[in-house]
Amino acid sequence: MRDIALPLLAGGAAAASTLAILGGIMLVLAILGRLSARSGVSPIPLYLIAGLGIGWWLQPDLPTEVVDSAEIIGVVLLLFMLGIEYTGAELVGGIRTGLRAGIVDFVLNATPGVALGLLLGWGIAGAVALGGATYISSSGIIAKVLEDLGRLGNRETPAIISVLVIEDLVMAFYLPILGVLITGAALATAAGSVAIAITAAILALLIAVRHGHRVSRLADHDRDEVLLLTVLGLLLLVAGLAERIGVSAAVGAFLVGIAISGSVAERTRELIAPLRDLFAAFFFVLFAIGVDAADLPGALPLAVLLGVVTVLTKIATGWYAARTFGVGARGRWRAGVTLTARGEFSIVIAGLAVTAGVTDDLGTLVAAYVLLLALAGPIATRLVR
Amino acid sequence: MTSITETKLPGIGIRYEFTTADGRPMGVIAHRDGEYDLLLFDRKDPDACKATIRLSAEDTMALIDALGGSTVVVQQAQAVHQSMEGIEFEWVTLRDDSPCAGATIAETEMRRRTGASIVSILRGDDVLVSPPSDHPLAVGDTVVIVGSEQTTADARRLLLGA
């Protein structure tokens, strides 16, 4: 038999301790999940706090391969599910209904992050990453809050969702650019990679809109197991190829998500959601373990400042978007406040940047920032009736 | 006739809204997963829902029944429901450029070439259920096909020559 590197299967003390640590972390997450379900607080900030605490007190000794694989799979699944959330037709239709609000959203909410990144001297890549983190709302937190508060039927909800759809679409172009910028490649190579990445994004959108049903038909199978293996295989393969050509696995995953649509998308969502939940939870914890909790108090004032500014800009965005949908004053406020939550994708963006070697301070700042807004956003949404 | 406003909710489904004869706005969300929400709006703030009632697919059928819904509506709902379990019904009307016009069912080789089956043919007011394989298809016939999502789509293309 050939010697394959499967250190965990070799057994022994190392494997035992890795399994025990993973199990322990998972149980902590399970307790937090219960807490989250009972209190209605999003689990994301709880996972981050757990990760910070675990990193601070225990400094668990996990093999780097395990950490790296769990993190990358978490990111890949999060972005795949973001891509699959809306069909190609919905994304394109979103441009018609929400273009103006989308532009307002981008300008108002990316600018504070970019400006602060530049002021802190984090370079173009750091500034673009921070801008992305302040720009993108948490569609996960927002969908949950709307459902919990029985506001799915409200008239401002189509306005909120149209903003989220445009953000989703913007990610198709933002992520490839970020992916190339954070590698710190020379300008000529970077321009080439960006061109490839953008072409791939347009291609994926075209495939989704024109041939989505054909892609879906190829992947479809009556048995869940076969469908799961087909989609996951395609997803990891494309993610790996994207990473190889220098445009980050996350981008590849997102584009696969966009290209899959129709009834296959529906079933895939159901099949992959539990996997995504598992690996995303690990990703949040591992991201937070990587943040030095001792640096957090120092980052807090800036995080609060950035939080206050970008809460106001998001409220303005939602207010404007709801107005274009003909919603009254109270509904405009609700739309604005609902959109303030930032969460999983801000962390993903920061995680990509930090892993690629952009300053660790970015990770600390975004961790503090998301902690604040993932907690405050839903609470404020509840209060504004 | 009450006019209904339709708004797409990407990722969720479709939202319908209308105002009743005595001025109460109300609405329905048709979720992608086949469930429905019945929406009752707040009189003071018509943008907000006062109550949202979740209806399963079965609840919806019962409600349609109670409201005196026509059987056509119910049957369409059933077709939609069955398509969710992987069975698709497709109604295809043959145009004069259809390559299958004039051919018998056997000659179209639909079963072999696509996997879908013709279960019924509507010609004018006549309904032919389970037509024999030597039955000829004519321009204007509406052919009812049953199969999977894939096979009915292929069969539609075969019938229409697209």
Question: B48 touching A, CB under 8 A?
Answer: yes
Query: Nearest by CB to A90, which of B10, B46, B49?
Result: B10
pLDDT in tens, B11-29: 888 888 888 888 888 889 9
Sort B68 into a burial class: Cβ within 10 Å, 0-12 / 13-18 / 19+: exposed
The pLDDT score that the predictor gives to residue A332 is: 93
φ, ψ (nearest 5 deg) of residue B93: -100, 130
Q: Point out which residues pair with B40 in neighbouring strands.
A: B26, B51
The pLDDT score that the predictor gives to residue A6 is: 53
The pLDDT score that the predictor gives to residue A183 is: 79
Closest CA to A256 of A233, A276, A283, A280: A233
The pLDDT score that the predictor gives to residue B82 is: 47
Question: B55 touching A, CB under 8 A?
Answer: no
Interface test with B, best of A86, A90, A145, A154 (most B CBs within 10 A): A154
The pLDDT score that the predictor gives to residue A1 is: 45
Angstroms from B88 CA to nearest CA on chain A: 12
The pLDDT score that the predictor gives to residue A92 is: 79
Angstroms from B124 CA to nearest CA on chain A: 33
Record the tokens describing residue A344, joined without a space. Answer: 């999983």
The pLDDT score that the predictor gives to residue B71 is: 42
State the Cα–Cα distance between residues B139 and B94, nearest whole angstrom.
Answer: 5
8 Å CB contact of A330 and B32: no
Closest CA to A28 of A289, A271, A273: A289
A154 contacts on B by Cβ (under 8 Å): 47-49
Question: Taking a C-beta distance cutoff of 8 angstroms, is the pair A373, A314 a contact?
Answer: no
- Highest mean pLDDT: which range of A280-284, B77-81, B155-159: A280-284
Grouping H, G, I as helix, E, B as strand and the rest as coil, residue A265 is: helix
Sign of CA dihedral A197, A207, B11, A265: negative
The residue type at B100 = C
DSSP string spanning A209-221? HHHHHHHHHHH--
Query: Nearest by CB to A327, which of B47, B49, B51?
Result: B47
State the Cα–Cα distance between residues B130 and B100, nearest whole angstrom.
Answer: 18
Question: Taking a C-beta distance cutoff of 8 angstroms, is the pair B68, B114 a contact?
Answer: no
Question: B157 touching A, CB under 8 A?
Answer: no
Report the predicted TM-score, pTM, of the whole model to 2 decimal places.
0.75
Question: Taking a C-beta distance cutoff of 8 angstroms, is the pair A68, A288 a contact?
Answer: no
Grouping H, G, I as helix, E, B as strand and the rest as coil, residue A72 is: helix
8 Å CB contact of A153 and B32: no
Query: Nearest by CB to A93, which of B8, B15, B150?
Result: B8
State the Cα–Cα distance between residues B2 and A64, nearest whole angstrom.
Answer: 64
Strands B25-31 and B117-123: unpaired
- The rounded Cα B127 to chain-centroid distance in angstroms is 19
Question: A165 touching B, CB under 8 A?
Answer: yes
Q: B86 versus A236: which is more confidently predicted?
A: A236
Q: What is the 3-state secondary structure (H, E, C) of A334-381?
A: HHHHHCCCCCHHHHHHHHHHHHCCCCHHHHHHHHHHHHHHHHHHHHHH
| Residue A42, C-beta contacts closer than 8 angstroms, at least 6 positions apart | A36, A138, A140, A141, A144, A341, A343, A374, A375, A378
A328 contacts on B by Cβ (under 8 Å): 45-47
8 Å CB contact of A385 and B8: no
Angstroms from B86 CA to nearest CA on chain A: 8
Closest CA to A98 of A157, A153, A161, A156: A161
| Helical segments of A149-261, H only | 157-181, 187-219, 224-244, 249-259
State the Cα–Cα distance between residues B62 and A366, nearest whole angstrom.
Answer: 50
State the Cα–Cα distance between residues A68 and A86, nearest whole angstrom.
Answer: 29
Question: A220 touching B, CB under 8 A?
Answer: yes
Q: Point out which residues pair with B122 in neighbouring strands.
A: B127, B142
Angstroms from A144 CA to nearest CA on chain B: 12
Question: B5 touching A, CB under 8 A?
Answer: no
B15 contacts on A by Cβ (under 8 Å): 153, 157-158
Residue with tokens 């979103």: A94
ipTM topping 0.85: no
State the Cα–Cα distance between residues A122 and A99, nearest whole angstrom.
Answer: 31
8 Å CB contact of B27 and A153: yes
Question: B85 touching A, CB under 8 A?
Answer: no
The pLDDT score that the predictor gives to residue A147 is: 84
Residue with tokens 């981050």: A48
Spans of chain A, pLDDT less than 50:
1
B45 contacts on A by Cβ (under 8 Å): 328, 330-331
Reply yes or no on whether the pLDDT at B97 is more than 60.
yes
The pLDDT score that the predictor gives to residue B77 is: 37
Query: Nearest by CB to A150, which of B7, B32, B52?
Result: B52
Number of Cβ within 10 Å of residue A136's Cβ equals 26
- Of A7-16, A54-63, B55-64, B141-150, the poorest mean pLDDT is in A7-16
H or E element at residue A307: helix A296-324
The pLDDT score that the predictor gives to residue B73 is: 42
State the Cα–Cα distance between residues A95 and A48, nearest whole angstrom.
Answer: 34
Query: Nearest by CB to B15, which of A158, A165, A262?
Result: A158
The pLDDT score that the predictor gives to residue A137 is: 93
